[in-house]
Amino acid sequence: MAVAVKLLRGCCHCGSLSRTSLAAKELLSRTAVGSVVLQTRNNTRIMERVYPLPVGKDGGRPDRSQMNELYKILREVEIVKYPEEIQCILTDFVEGVGIRGDVVTVKRDFFHEELFPAGMAVYASPDNIEEFEEERKAKGIDKAETRLGVFARMTMKELSNMHLEIPLSDSSDWTLCKRHVQVAFRIQGVEVEEDCLELPEEAVTEFQDVTINVWINGLESVPVSATIVPISEKFPPTKK
Amino acid sequence: MEKVKIRHFMPSIKMYKDMVQHEVTYFQYHNNTRFTISSRLIKTPGLWVNHWRSVPYVYRWSPEEERILPEHYKNSCREFMTKEPEPVHWRPDPQKYWEDIDSGQRFPVINAPIPVVYPKECNTGLWGGEGIIFGYFTKVDPKRQKKLPTRPRIWLPELMKRVLYSEILDRYMAIMITARAQYLIDEAFGLDNYILQTHEVDLCSRLAMTLKREMLLALANKSLYSDNPVKKEKIYKKYEKFVIPAEEAEWIGLPMYEAVEKAKALEEELYPPQPLKDLYLVDLVRRLKLSASAS
């Protein structure tokens, strides 16, 4: 069968490329290879005979002798498309999707190519849903809001990647307090309440590098690296 | 400009013989087809898939082999050869009659599958009942509102390589599958369920049958997860409804030549061949006794 298909294709190529020179042929083939877009067809064709079959001698399907070339002319009736999304249960934290135990709907390709082979998600079958429900109850978590969700995780990642610069006066004495850090966060575009912040235990009175813990929803803390800089460096005075 | 010589491809007899791969029952009886598929005719009378079906592999056995093969294996083979698969590329019409608009006559509806061919490449993947469709196609030119000439056409299924996981075998496999097979696996919540639920006719592949045999054997012998007894019981409980005895599971989906070899080996174990010298010795003693009594 494969041979027959190859034959037909070869003939097509002969027809289309017969007028071009050999060099051009090579070039064409090269460019064709580079420009191939492999896109999978997510459907099944349903075909139909254009001319309906005659009744057989016994009232059923016709004999071979009754068959004709015309009965092989086909027509597309319908193209059945399969759904693009699938429901699954996550077994691990996936950035931007959810955390362990979440029942989420994701793209089918994403599930089959990334999540499922890596063991980060399982099918949302009734057995699996029940199992994860039991696990949730055993851990004593009542609602989804009490855990850290997708947005909280994204915020944590953002915070752990950022570097904070705390501008403080170089002319007068000071000790670092929560208000200073809150203002520094606000300058960098992050709004933090004072209760979430946790300063180093020893009092800071000099320009140096410090790490500040930020508590998220009172459940987990993120260490944020920071440097204390003189305000004249951070915001130099404008000349008039 | 350089002239390019067009060489028309004409296969030699040897190449035609190489093409003889598949059982194509639909086209071989029509000599007027514009494309012909060389295929093999089956001389064995009796059990054979019907005129409207094509299969990637067949089960045939001689009367001698019929004696030694086990009954459950033969039954499963007969079922594969005679059962009608689920319609994939066509829709059976539920109505009994169709009416001709011009004449007002009523004709009975005949539900026959369209010609789909399953090549031997089927056996290395999971196609979920999809195959190659052969037929003629009339295209309509939308600009000129005119029908273009009818020409032969082949519709091919689209294949993709996906990593599938079998829970029973605890194994990841990269298998060529179609979108339909993927959908069916998702509907069944996993590869194991899909392969164990679906009938051999609809699976339509040797690979699937091999997996089925391995899974059923693992379930029957309880050889799954030998180092983890907790998971072993859990998985066994999940697939308990599919369990069959190990003697039957060994035979499921075996190709005929393997089954015959196996049956012959079993036959030799049960009835070992008696050496001729023993037979002759007994005969000699009998004859000597006879001669002694006569004298």
DSSP assignment of chain B: ----PPPPP---HHHHHHH--SB-TTTTT-TT-SS----PPP---S----TT--BS------HHHHHHS-HHHHHHHHHHHHPPPPPSSS-----SEEE-TTT--EEE-------EE--GGGGGSB-TT--EEEEEE--EETTTTEEPPPEEEEEPPP-EEEEEEETTTTEEEEEEE-HHHHHHHHHTTSHHHHHHHS-HHHH--HHHHHHHHHHHHHHHHT-SSTT-HHHHHHHHHHTGGG---HHHHTTTT--HHHHHHHHHHHHHHHSPPPPHHHHHHHHHHHHHHHHHHH-
Which residue in the set A3, A73, A117 is minimally distant from B19, CB to CB?
Answer: A3
3-state DSSP assignment of residue A184: helix
Instruction: Kindly tell me if the per-residue pLDDT of A37 is higher than 80.
Output: no
Q: Is A45 on the interface with B (CB under 8 A)?
A: yes
Contact criterion met (CB < 8 Å) for A53 and B1? no
Is the separation of the CB atoms in B37 and B29 below 8 Å?
A: no
Query: In whole angstroms, how far apart are CA A148 and each of A124, A191, B178?
Result: 22, 18, 39
Q: Is the pTM of this model over 0.80?
A: no
Using a CB-CB cut-off of 8 Å, the residues of chain B touching A75 are: 137-138
Q: What is the rounded CA–CA span in Å between residue A19 and residue A220?
A: 71
Nearest residue of B to residue A131 by CA position? Answer: B234
Task: Name the more confident of B69 and A24.
Answer: B69
**pLDDT cut 70: percent of chain A above it:** 80
- Kindly state the average pLDDT of the residues B54-79: 89
Element (H, E) at A240: none
Q: What is the strand order of the sheet A163-168 is part of?
A: A163-168, A220-230, A209-216, A197-198
Instruction: Kindly tell me if the per-residue pLDDT of A184 is higher than 80.
Output: yes
Instruction: Kindly tell me if the per-residue pLDDT of B45 is higher than 60.
Output: no
Strands B140-141 and B132-137: unpaired
Residue B7: per-residue pLDDT = 56
Q: Is A208 on the interface with B (CB under 8 A)?
A: no
Burial of B180 (0-12, 13-18, 19+ CB in 10 A): buried
Residue A182: per-residue pLDDT = 95
Instruction: Kindly tell me if the per-residue pLDDT of B183 is higher than 90.
Output: yes
Contact criterion met (CB < 8 Å) for A74 and B130? no
Find the radius of gyration of the CA atoms of chain B. Answer: 27
Choose the weakest-confidence range: B53-62, B119-128, B245-254.
B53-62
- Kindly state the average pLDDT of the residues B278-289: 94
Is the separation of the CB atoms in A99 and A150 below 8 Å?
A: yes
> What would the two tokens of residue B275 be?
């050496």
Sequence spans of domains, chain B? 13-86+115-260
pLDDT-derived band at A9 (thresholds 50, 70, 90) equals very low
Instruction: Kindly tell me if the per-residue pLDDT of A197 is higher than 90.
Output: yes
Residue B6: per-residue pLDDT = 59
Using a CB-CB cut-off of 8 Å, the residues of chain B touching A54 are: 110
Q: Is B37 on the interface with A (CB under 8 A)?
A: yes
Phi, psi dihedral angles at B29 (to 5 degrees): -90, -5
Find, among A169, A161, A167, the residue nearest to A227 by Cα: A167
Give the torsion sign (CA, B94, B100, B106, B107): negative
Contact criterion met (CB < 8 Å) for B121 and A82? no
Q: Is A1 on the interface with B (CB under 8 A)?
A: yes
- The β-bridge partners of A43 are A81
pLDDT-derived band at B285 (thresholds 50, 70, 90) equals very high
Is the separation of the CB atoms in B59 and B80 below 8 Å?
A: yes
Q: Is B271 on the interface with A (CB under 8 A)?
A: no
- Kindly state the average pLDDT of the residues B5-28: 55
Instruction: Kindly tell me if the per-residue pLDDT of A142 is higher than 90.
Output: no
- Chain B, window 92-131: residues with a beta carbon less than 8 angstroms from a chain A beta carbon: 98, 107-110, 112, 114-115, 117, 119-121, 130
pLDDT digit string (tens) for A54-106? 888 888 888 878 888 888 889 888 889 999 999 999 998 888 888 888 899 99
Average pLDDT of the residues of chain A: 81
pLDDT digit string (tens) for B249-277? 999 999 999 999 999 999 999 999 889 99
Instruction: Kindly tell me if the per-residue pLDDT of A126 is higher than 60.
Output: yes
The ipTM of this complex is 0.73
Contact criterion met (CB < 8 Å) for B9 and A108? no
pLDDT-derived band at A223 (thresholds 50, 70, 90) equals very high
pLDDT-derived band at B25 (thresholds 50, 70, 90) equals very low
Give the torsion sign (CA, A155, A161, A166, A167): negative
Task: Name the more confident of A145 and B295.
Answer: B295
Q: Is A49 on the interface with B (CB under 8 A)?
A: yes
Q: What is the rounded CA–CA span in Å between residue B42 and residue B22?
A: 11
Contact criterion met (CB < 8 Å) for B91 and A116? no
pLDDT-derived band at B31 (thresholds 50, 70, 90) equals very low
pLDDT digit string (tens) for B207-242? 999 999 999 999 999 999 999 999 999 999 999 999
CA distance A97 to chain B (A): 20
Instruction: List the domains of chain A with CATH numbers.
Output: 4-81 (no CATH), 85-147 (3.40.5.10), 153-234 (3.10.430.100)
Instruction: Kindly tell me if the per-residue pLDDT of A205 is higher than 60.
Output: yes
Element (H, E) at A216: strand A209-216
Using a CB-CB cut-off of 8 Å, the residues of chain A touching B51 are: 61, 64
